[in-house]
A and B are shown apart, each in its own frame.
Chain A
């Protein structure tokens, strides 16, 4: 049975297969599929066709099987199951499945849109109008006597930046970000100036010469990115810094593939997708809308608990570097914070705490939250100005090389 000889099923043949009574069933499946797509499920035309075919194989009078056959095709992640269940109830209840399919006729309108409007991650092509190329230095500030603009920027505290300075910093971040978090992996690739001999390629080449090794091929370990998880405190006290740090995080995500970002105040929200797809301005707008408590108080422990119990369980492993960005002002229970930090620390490769307050020379981590957490961090670093970010990138590079 060679599959490629089978023609792709057409709507007509599917409908014919389902029998005269099921005439409108396929159309309803299409509509149901569109409904799911609007709720974020990845429902393609292919899946709809498969779903229809699946229905052709089961006993339609069994509601449980009907449900399962659709779910197995349309759901591709555990998190989507609840949404699917809700939509399934809403859509199919009126049909009184399990009885004769009399309720199906005439209930569907014109076929729903069949375009496969799959969301695409334009990772390679974001609208980075704010992220100009590094060559755009010509329009830079006039020279200040004795200091380069970059040096000045590097030590100036984020909270006092002007718009132009913000733009300049972004350009620098674009340069730093690609170097961040590179990691040697087991993969190799051919490289004329590499370190190790590529045995496979060399041997192959030697066959040409009857087995004599005439030329050596080299290879080098392929650079691979580390997994990063960023947990950003966006509560009131972090206000000035967090909007800036989000830009830093945005830059990281544009350059690297394996970055997951969460923000928290009293609740934890995953923002990776928002920061990935849009240009920065609309990303921030989106964020403002979904993160309901930008300027409330913080309960770091509770947020970490949410993370550790939830996405953290599978996202964080021995290859992950977790970066927590917060000033440590915590309204929650220090015991909880300590426990969660411990859990996270055990799971991750390294746990870094970035604290903007470390920028002030007189700062001492005296608040209970910080004290509880410190023993469980690998690196405790400032994050208030560009210099600190540069140092962060150096730390990460060292970690990556380890």
Chain B
């Protein structure tokens, strides 16, 4: 089982094989994360590819992606495991008429069959048998400090004690990616545990590469105009600036409409791909729109 990722260049190449364009800082972060066995903390604007990279890494490493979506109120039960009480109770009823010794019944009741494994436990037990999985902990800022403290424990030891079963320990560490939208500060201890990367909006060249790679049918002229447009839009004052995800949606739409270049009517009609707020769409109209398109 290869756990080595070779060089930084190799990482970039392999990511590109799966159509993810990573710059050197991303590749370096992944490289060191593997070498040091530390989790990665990704912060950045919405739609720049934080979650995406975890998915692609799972493909690159040829392993499962286990995803823990964080939300307010997420606690250990939802993240770790839970016993299937209803099933256990039914089994008790069924066993009432058998003559099996009590210890045997108890052992059955508290076995894998009745254990509902949630993402963190899944990640730890998977790492015992197969290629260690990629564990994506998405939008950690939506959970709270208590959960962070708990997560920190898990990420430090990669072992979990289930009172009825024992201690389950990961033979190898999963590849952990934590993402955050910065709606609050993550606590220091967790940040210390991770390697950190801030993902900004891409440069024109990078975005052009992304668009060309992910949308094979697109002509370079259109791709260039789209990227120009997006670069300009991001420097203007909108309520919610669009991310790379929006660029790709828009480009796909324009290709489907068989456009080879931008024109004001089409742009106005497809603004919904780029802006998701009414005021923003309204702002991009009329003269402003025409001028912007002409400048691309």
Question: Could you list which residues of chain A lie within 8 angstroms of chain B, going by C-beta atoms?
Answer: 1-3, 42, 44, 46-47, 50, 53-54, 57-58, 64-65, 68-69, 71-73, 75-78, 81, 118, 185-187, 200, 203-204, 206-207, 210-211, 224, 227, 257-258, 314-315, 317, 319, 343, 346
Cβ of B188 and Cβ of A50 under 8 Å apart? no
Report the nearest A residue to B41, measured CB to CB. Answer: A76
Within the complex, the shortest CB–CB distance from A85 to chain B, in Å, comes to 12
How far apart are the CA atoms of A64 and B27 in the complex, in Å?
12
Which A residues are CB-close (under 8 A) to B96? Answer: 210
Q: Does B183 contact A (CB under 8 A)?
A: yes
Report the nearest A residue to B197, measured CB to CB. Answer: A72
Within the complex, the shortest CB–CB distance from B162 to chain A, in Å, comes to 14
23 A-B pairs in the complex with CB atoms less than 8 angstroms apart: A1-B172, A53-B35, A53-B36, A54-B32, A54-B36, A57-B35, A65-B24, A68-B28, A73-B195, A76-B192, A76-B194, A185-B72, A187-B73, A200-B85, A203-B85, A203-B89, A207-B89, A207-B109, A210-B92, A210-B96, A257-B145, A314-B181, A314-B184
- Which residue of the partner chain, among B8, B43, B192, contacts A65 with CB atoms under 8 Å? B8
CB contact under 8 A between A314 and B35, given known A44-B192, A65-B28, A187-B75: no
- Which residue of the partner chain, among B28, B171, B184, contacts A69 with CB atoms under 8 Å? B28
Extra pairs beyond A57-B35, A81-B198 (15, CB < 8 Å): A50-B38, A58-B28, A64-B24, A68-B25, A72-B29, A72-B197, A75-B196, A76-B191, A77-B191, A77-B196, A78-B198, A185-B72, A203-B89, A257-B145, A317-B183
How far apart are the CA atoms of A258 and B185 in the complex, in Å?
10
How far apart are the CA atoms of A186 and B75 in the complex, in Å?
10
Cβ of B89 and Cβ of A211 under 8 Å apart? yes
Report the nearest B residue to A53, measured CB to CB. Answer: B36
Q: Does B150 contact A (CB under 8 A)?
A: no
Within the complex, the shortest CB–CB distance from B120 to chain A, in Å, comes to 17
Q: Give the most central of B38, B194, B195, B239: most A CB within 10 Å.
A: B195
Within the complex, the shortest CB–CB distance from A387 to chain B, in Å, comes to 33
CB contact under 8 A between A206 and B89, given known A1-B172, A185-B72: yes
Q: Number of contact residues on B: which range applies?
A: 35 or more
Within the complex, the shortest CB–CB distance from B192 to chain A, in Å, comes to 6
Which A residues are CB-close (under 8 A) to B192? Answer: 42, 44, 46-47, 76
Q: Does B232 contact A (CB under 8 A)?
A: no
Which A residues are CB-close (under 8 A) to B37? Answer: 3
Cβ of B32 and Cβ of A42 under 8 Å apart? no
Q: Does B100 contact A (CB under 8 A)?
A: no
- Which residue of the partner chain, among A54, A71, A75, A346, contacts B35 with CB atoms under 8 Å? A54
Report the nearest A residue to B196, measured CB to CB. Answer: A76
Q: Does B175 contact A (CB under 8 A)?
A: no
Q: Does B93 contact A (CB under 8 A)?
A: yes
How far apart are the CA atoms of A81 and B188 in the complex, in Å?
16
Within the complex, the shortest CB–CB distance from A191 to chain B, in Å, comes to 16
Report the nearest A residue to B29, measured CB to CB. Answer: A72
Q: Give the most central of B3, B32, B36: most A CB within 10 Å.
A: B32
Within the complex, the shortest CB–CB distance from A160 to chain B, in Å, comes to 39
Within the complex, the shortest CB–CB distance from A317 to chain B, in Å, comes to 5
Within the complex, the shortest CB–CB distance from B143 to chain A, in Å, comes to 11
Within the complex, the shortest CB–CB distance from A194 to chain B, in Å, comes to 16
Closest 8 CB pairs of A and B: A186-B73, A314-B182, A76-B191, A203-B85, A68-B28, A78-B198, A211-B89, A76-B196
Q: Does B231 contact A (CB under 8 A)?
A: no
